[in-house]
């Protein structure tokens, strides 16, 4: 696409599209080469071969024999991958820096003074034995968008900031530091790399003693977009190329202790046993029954269970287990949690055992995406002729932290077979191309509309 094609009629098209003639006139005067008009910009496309090539290159950092990557935060592979990403940012004409929390930022100025930045990006750290798409698609996709803008001479009204958050997989640490207050306890937590968060930030080149200088206050950004693989199987199953994230679910977790009575497995008759594991098993079944008995997309899981004393010839006297419930609605989570506890009480009464529930994590509120942001993504997909589906994210993302300070929107592309956090994680080059094009046009729509 040639720049000349776009420039013709720029001011008129922008004025007509935004209805903000005065503002635009000033923008145009300040920028002699504003690039594609709003109408002309519709034809802009990212370079699919380039973004897919960059993904292949990034996959070399921490490549594991299974075909994925083990690029856990604060490892040498993480540091080297980040250096590669910073080099790509520079090639995309971004002004690159690292904040004190270790997040990487690439900035590009806008044409209208005083507007807040549009932020978009993701992460490049992985779980141990992870795949090549989780986080990478959104990070390199964001860089591809600005590279396309640079090549095609597109200037946005808002400043743009591409971000690569540090240590997403360990617990959204980078975005947490940028939007909230990191406690001493969090900084002392040990990451998979073996380093504490504090040591990890230093290792990356940040400064854990000056984290407050990286913090963004509410209203410091115009909005935040994140492109990501779905990590579930819905889009692949329904053959829908683009997911519009409704929100990121809230998670409630309980540590449950079941008390019974340990006794000889051979000499104790079947009647009158107080078998904690038998009661726990009934609760496992009940959790599944309760969560599926009501309409909605809530999920609940017993993921960990241990019997004590844990011997072949002893009736289990105590069981420790976990219960986790996730949904976009805190009310639903609370209702399901209450039903599970009511059912546990009944199971206990029938079997001479007792259940005690202890909340093991403070559930963060569900992070809903912003309706206007969903609208930009939806308009971008429509313009590209791509079908969309509104869906919740069952996994946590940095976007949930950004939702605390600005309107947030998330774009999903299909994960083949719904597999992620595995070397078998895969999204097709075509799906990646679609996702990055949608990200680009959603950014442009937000730039024109916000």
Q: Which is nearer to Zn ion, 78 or 134 (CB)?
A: 134
Number of residues that bind Zn ion (CB under 5 A): 2
DSSP structure class, residue 74 = T
Q: Which residues of 331-358 are buried (b: 16+ CB within 10 A; e: fewer)?
A: ebbebbbebbbebbeebbeebebbbeee
Q: Which is nearer to Zn ion, 126 or 152 (CB)?
A: 126
Determine the residue with CB nearest Zn ion.
Answer: 135
Segment near Zn ion (CB under 5 A), from 35-43, 64-72, 128-136, 208-216? 128-136
Q: In angstroms, rounded to a whole number, what is the distance separating the alpha carbons of residues 445 and 304? A: 45
Segment near Zn ion (CB under 5 A), from 131-139, 142-150, 177-185, 271-279? 131-139
Q: How far is the CB of 405 from Zn ion (least distance, A)?
A: 20
Contacts of 324 (CB under 8 A, 6+ apart): 251, 252, 253, 254, 300, 301, 302, 303
> Residue 331: enclosing H or E segment and its boundaries?
helix 330-351
When asked if residue 135 is in the footprint of Zn ion (CB under 5 A), the reply is yes
Q: Which is nearer to Zn ion, 134 or 447 (CB)?
A: 134
* Bridge partners, 409 (sequence order): 225
Q: Which is nearer to Zn ion, 248 or 444 (CB)?
A: 248
Q: How far is the CB of 393 from Zn ion (least distance, A)?
A: 10
Segment near Zn ion (CB under 5 A), from 26-34, 126-134, 284-292, 381-389? 126-134
Q: Which is nearer to Zn ion, 120 or 355 (CB)?
A: 120
When asked if residue 398 is in the footprint of Zn ion (CB under 5 A), the reply is no
Q: In angstroms, rounded to a whole number, what is the distance separating the alpha carbons of residues 306 and 450? A: 52
Here the tokens at position 47 are: 């370079």
Q: How far is the CB of 130 from Zn ion (least distance, A)?
A: 9
Q: Determine contact, residues 436/374, Cβ cutoff 8 Å.
A: no
Q: How far is the CB of 252 from Zn ion (least distance, A)?
A: 21
Q: How far is the CB of 137 from Zn ion (least distance, A)?
A: 9
Segment near Zn ion (CB under 5 A), from 129-137, 156-164, 178-186, 373-381? 129-137
When asked if residue 134 is in the footprint of Zn ion (CB under 5 A), the reply is yes
Query: Residue 167: left (phi > 0), alpha (psi -120 to 50), or beta?
Result: left
Q: How far is the CB of 421 from Zn ion (least distance, A)?
A: 9
Q: Which is nearer to Zn ion, 117 or 121 (CB)?
A: 121
DSSP structure class, residue 155 = -
Segment near Zn ion (CB under 5 A), from 6-14, 98-106, 130-138, 300-308? 130-138
Q: How far is the CB of 73 from Zn ion (least distance, A)?
A: 12
Q: How far is the CB of 432 from Zn ion (least distance, A)?
A: 15
Taking the CB of residue 230, how many other CB atoms lie within 10 A of it?
26
Q: CA 218 → CA 20, 105, 116, 398, 405, distances in Å? A: 25, 18, 11, 16, 4
> Residue 335: enclosing H or E segment and its boundaries?
helix 330-351
Segment near Zn ion (CB under 5 A), from 133-141, 194-202, 363-371, 441-449? 133-141
- State the residues that interact with Zn ion by CB under 5 A: 134-135
């Amino acid at each position: 696409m040639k720049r000349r094609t776009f420039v013709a009629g720029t001011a008129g098209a922008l004025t007509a599209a935004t209805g903000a003639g005065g503002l635009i006139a000033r923008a145009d005067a300040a920028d002699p080469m504003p690039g594609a008009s709003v109408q002309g910009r519709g034809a802009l496309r990212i370079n699919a071969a380039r973004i897919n090539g960059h993904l292949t290159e990034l996959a070399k950092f921490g490549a594991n024999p299974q075909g994925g990557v083990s690029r856990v935060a604060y490892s040498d592979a993480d540091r080297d991958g980040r250096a590669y990403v910073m080099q790509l940012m520079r090639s995309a004409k971004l002004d690159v820096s690292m904040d004190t929390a270790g997040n990487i930022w690439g900035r590009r100025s806008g044409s209208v003074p005083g507007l807040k930045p549009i932020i978009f990006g993701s992460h490049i750290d992985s779980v141990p034995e992870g795949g090549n798409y989780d986080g990478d698609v959104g990070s390199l996709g964001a860089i591809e968008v600005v590279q396309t803008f640079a090549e095609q001479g597109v200037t946005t009204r808002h400043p743009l900031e591409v971000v690569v958050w540090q240590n997403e997989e360990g617990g959204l640490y980078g975005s947490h530091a940028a939007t909230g207050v990191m406690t001493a306890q969090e900084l002392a937590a040990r990451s998979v790399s073996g380093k504490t968060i504090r040591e990890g930030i230093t290792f990356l080149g940040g400064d854990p003693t000056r984290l407050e200088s990286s913090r963004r206050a509410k209203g410091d950004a115009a909005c935040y977009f994140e492109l990501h693989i779905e990590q579930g199987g819905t889009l692949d199953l329904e053959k829908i190329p683009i997911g519009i994230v409704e929100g990121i679910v809230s998670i409630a977790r309980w540590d449950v202790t079941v008390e019974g009575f340990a006794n000889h497995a051979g000499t104790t008759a079947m009647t009158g046993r107080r078998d904690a594991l038998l009661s726990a098993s009934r609760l496992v079944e009940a959790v599944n029954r309760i969560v599926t008995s009501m309409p909605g997309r809530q999920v609940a899981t017993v993921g960990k269970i241990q019997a004590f004393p844990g011997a072949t010839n002893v009736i289990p006297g105590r069981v420790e287990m976990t219960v986790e419930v996730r949904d976009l609605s805190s009310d639903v989570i609370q209702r399901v949690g209450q039903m599970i506890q009511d059912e546990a009480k009944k199971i206990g009464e029938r079997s001479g055992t007792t259940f005690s529930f202890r909340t093991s994590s403070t559930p963060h509120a569900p992070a809903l995406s912003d309706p206007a942001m969903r609208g930009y993504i939806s308009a971008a997909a429509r313009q590209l002729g791509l079908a969309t589906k509104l869906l919740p994210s069952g996994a946590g993302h940095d976007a949930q932290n950004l939702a605390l300070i600005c309107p947030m929107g998330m774009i999903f592309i299909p994960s083949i077979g719904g597999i992620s956090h595995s070397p078998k994680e895969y999204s097709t080059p075509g799906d990646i191309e679609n996702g990055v094009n949608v990200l680009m046009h959603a950014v442009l729509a937000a730039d024109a509309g916000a």
